[in-house]
A = this chain, B = another copy of it.
Amino acid sequence: MFYHDNKLQYKVRVDKPNPVFANMLQQAIGGIEGEIRVCLQYLFQAWGARGPVKYRDMLLETGTEEISHIEMLATAVALNLEGAPLSLQEEMTKDKVIGAVMGGMNPRHVLSSGLAAMAVDANGNPFNGSWVVGSGNIAADMYANVMAESTGRVLATRLWEATDDAGMKDMLAFLIARDTMHQNQWLAVLEELGGLKGMHPIPNSFPQSEEHQQFSYSFISTSIDGNTQAQGRWSAGQSMDGKGEFTFDPAKPFGDEPMLGPPDPRGHAQTEQMTGAADGGLMDKIKGAL
């Protein structure tokens, strides 16, 4: 169950409002690298957690923290929109730099939200629930979380570079630090779960004897001319999970040409697909083969 107070987790100050930066910040709210995604991802993982309770509890804690991050960023967007231009004529008659600003704004910040944050990314794409990963396999989920905090911290550092507003840099320096912690946090779970050699291949509960093991540690090169530079740690030596040896092998087909049956007449393909009239008997060959 959830509670709140009416303060922010960390202070949000905008010295010089900038509606173009407001739009950029939307990526950290409603984007695939953003805070709504991690918030819902950690909460859904918690709510569906089967297994040790401590992981569920930890996910619940950090999922709750992320709501506070959305709040900070939404506040930052609103503050960056203070005094934003609301009309085209205002744009065109004043300093032309403002003209450039309007080009980089999200027009829906004027038209749809009345100068407030929305649940969208920096292209105006709405937040999409398909980004919320919770697989029921905790190791896979922890990688999803490390990945989310890694792309999230990359995003935050780019936002930090994009602005010279001291207030915004201060807020982002807090969020960047939290991303540092959260990367470490999910990695700590991965260590507890057995580390590389204990966890992989994920899921580690599937018996590897059932997979076709001659393909389990082979780097398959699809290059037709042998002119590849794709050699590295992955093409020789012990595999990362300690269960095999890497090899480097040229691609070749182990299967045959696929052969589907003729169309069912009630599916209303063209008659020519069913009679073979168009291809000089090839159709008969198909039918013969089935």
Tell me which of B122, B157, B220, B274 contacts A51 (CB under 8 A). B274
Q: How far apart are the CA atoms of A108 and B200 in the complex, in Å? A: 23
Contacts of A184 in B (CB 8 A): 200-201, 217, 234, 239-241, 244, 246
Q: How far apart are the CA atoms of A285 and B51 in the complex, in Å? A: 10
Which residue from chain B places its CB closest to the CB of A28 in the assembled complex? B111
Determine how many copies of this chain the complex contains: 6
**Once the chains bind, are B267 and A114 in contact (CB under 8 Å)?**
yes
* A58-B230, A143-B150 known; A103 vs B106 contact (CB < 8 Å): no
CB distance from A181 to the nearest CB of B (A): 6
Tell me which of B201, B227, B282 contacts A5 (CB under 8 A). B227
Q: How far apart are the CA atoms of A54 and B170 in the complex, in Å? A: 29
Taking residues whose C-beta sits less than 8 angstroms from the other chain, chain A's interface range is 35 or more
Q: How far apart are the CA atoms of A173 and B201 in the complex, in Å? A: 14
Q: How far apart are the CA atoms of A69 and B61 in the complex, in Å? A: 17
Tell me which of B215, B222, B234 contacts A4 (CB under 8 A). B222
Q: Does A15 contact B (CB under 8 A)?
A: no
CB distance from A73 to the nearest CB of B (A): 9
**Once the chains bind, are A260 and B120 in contact (CB under 8 Å)?**
no
**Once the chains bind, are B122 and A107 in contact (CB under 8 Å)?**
yes
**Once the chains bind, are B224 and A153 in contact (CB under 8 Å)?**
no
What are 9 A-B pairs at a CB distance below 8 A? A20-B103, A21-B88, A44-B119, A55-B232, A99-B99, A176-B206, A180-B201, A181-B215, A184-B244
